[in-house]
Chains A and B, each alone.
Chain A
Amino acid sequence: MNLERMDDTFAQRLRSVLVKQVDASSPTRVRRRRWWVGVGVFAGVGLVGGVGAATAGFFTVPGADIVTEVAAPAEGVHTGTQTVDLGPAPEGATHISMELACLSAGTLYAEGGASMSCSPNGIDGWGGFTIALQPGKHSTEIRTSTPEMRYRLRATYVNQTPTEWAVNENGNTHGAPNDRGEPDLLSVIATNGKVGYSYAQELDEASGRTAAENFTSPEDARVWQEARLGKSFAVPVYGADGETVIGEFVIEGPPDMRKDP
């Protein structure tokens, strides 16, 4: 018997909490807001949206694409430039969904102009996206900056159906960001666990998107980043009316782990 273990009951409860948190997140959210990921870290549990996880039986956020896998994914580890053949597209397929993760340093280029650079330290290096299907096309090419670069690719045919944003009494759109842009109010989960909306403009100010647009040099960005170390920025979360405050969404600057207290 191994006694150096976490109590099993505690472990099982903790595990289910963790699994739920991850399930509630959205890959589309991460990729569409990549600028955000580099700038701050979300603490308000997460933004709802991107993919309405129809397959998982979740509710769909207005404006989110409903993405459903319609074929078994092709998954594998590759080295250097590769063409991945997915076979004939099944009925209902509208896009190819790809998830890439770096296993070594370098840059990956996908069709459609997406690229992803990875440092020697590993996974800054995760990206996922969908590309529209072209008739008769079964394969997709991933190019690498060096022939020895290693990466993991998961690719599959999906059906991607767009949905419309909802509009509240004040005429503000609300829901998830999509290819058409962002609604006035973005669907978020507040720190108290309630699902509500935050104004895109307020999120941009808190996350630094607004500031980032005004940087004139890398030095500006560095100074600004350092000023945010260890700080957090709260944004109100409203009901769909955009007026009733129901909680707050917190965006954290990077934790300051370098100094001795």
Chain B
Amino acid sequence: MGDMNTDDGGLWSRSLAGDGEAFGVLFDRHRDRVYRHAYRLAQNRPDAEDVSAAAFLELWRLRTRVRLVEHSVLPWLLVTTTNCALNLRRSRRRYEALLRSIPHAPAAADPADIFLSDDPFQGVDEHLASALRALKPVDLQLITLVVLEGYDLASAAGILGLGPEVAKTRLHRARHRLQEHLPGLNAPRQLTLLEEGQS
């Protein structure tokens, strides 16, 4: 959670004032966290790249609606990444021409992909991905922010527009649903997944 407390406020205000480089620094700061989350849901590199790109393009397009949480744009980006991944086709269509202009690396087996799918501690394995996709969108957002990314429930509820009690109940149920979908969980992964976000 290294970046979580980094203050994006200054860079964000400069971006809103039309300073492209400030937005570039925000991109540098958060691109890997966004990509990791996109990969977690999309399970392949080209889709994860398109989803990440769409999330950053949305960050700019919807800039007047972006809410910083703990002075960071990352929670908003993660929520948007989830939306873009759930809605990959629509995200792609909106940015079709732009995405076409950004070439993906060749599709040959990528050692990084193999590494990622082999390492459950990175939170990007296939079972987790399909269990996550089985959740309702709001629940997936909650699990992402609280359980996988370690934000507190109040911040997550705030950015998702949920009341604290509703968020708590939903999160509780979502954890259970996730557990049901992950019968093959080995012990260490279960710890990582289900206890990380509890405070």
The residues of A with any CB-CB pair to B shorter than 8 Å are: 2-7, 9-11, 13-15, 17-23, 25-27, 30, 37-38, 41-43, 51, 53, 99, 101, 103, 121-123, 126, 128, 152, 154, 193, 254-255, 257-258, 260-261
Q: When chains A and B are docked, how far (Å) is the Cα of A128 from the Cα of B19?
A: 13
Note all chain A residues with C-beta closer than 8 A to B17: 27, 99, 126, 128, 154
Chain A residue numbers with a CB within 8 Å of B65 are: 41, 254-255
Q: Which residues of B contact A (CB under 8 A)?
A: 9-10, 12-24, 27-28, 31-32, 35-36, 39, 45, 48-49, 52-53, 56-57, 60-62, 64-69, 71, 79, 83, 97-98, 101-105, 111-112, 115-116, 122, 124, 136-138, 158, 160-161
Q: Do most interface residues of chain B lie in helix, strand or loop, or is the interface mixed?
A: helix
Q: Are B24 and A14 in contact (CB under 8 A)?
A: no
Which residues of chain A are within 8 angstroms of B124 by Cβ–Cβ distance? 4
Q: Within the complex, which residue of B60, B115, B160 is in contact with A3, where a contact is CB–CB below 8 Å?
A: B115
CA distance A135 to B98 in the complex (A): 49
> Which of B13, B49, B60, B105 has a CB less than 8 Å from the CB of A152?
B13
Asked if A6 and B103 sit within 8 Å, CB to CB, the answer is: no
**A122/B69 in contact, CB under 8 A:** yes
Task: List, in ascending order, chain B residues with CB within 8 A of A21's CB.
Answer: 20, 23, 57, 60
B53 — which chain A residues lie within 8 A by C-beta? 10, 14
Which of B13, B48, B71 has the most CB atoms of chain A within a 10 A radius of its CB?
B13
- Chain A residues lying within 8 Å of B137, measured Cβ to Cβ, are 260-261
A4 in contact with B56 given A9-B103, A128-B17 (CB within 8 Å)? no
Q: How far is the CA of A25 from the CA of B17 in the complex (A)?
A: 8
- Quick check: B101 and A41 within 8 Å, CB to CB? no
Known: A5-B112, A23-B18, A101-B13. A17 touches B64 (CB 8 A): no
Q: How far is the CB of A103 from chain B (nearest CB, A)?
A: 6
Which residue of the partner chain, among B45, B71, B115, B122, contacts A7 with CB atoms under 8 Å? B45
User: CA–CA, A257 to B79, complex, Å?
Assistant: 10
B66 adjacent to A7 (CB under 8 Å):
no
Given A7-B49, A22-B19, verify A14-B105 contact (CB < 8 Å): no
Question: B residues within 8 A CB of A103?
Answer: 9, 71
In the bound complex, what is the Cα–Cα distance between A9 and B27 (angstroms)? 14
Most buried by B among A23, A37, A51, A128: A23
Would you call B64 and A41 a contact (CB within 8 A)?
yes
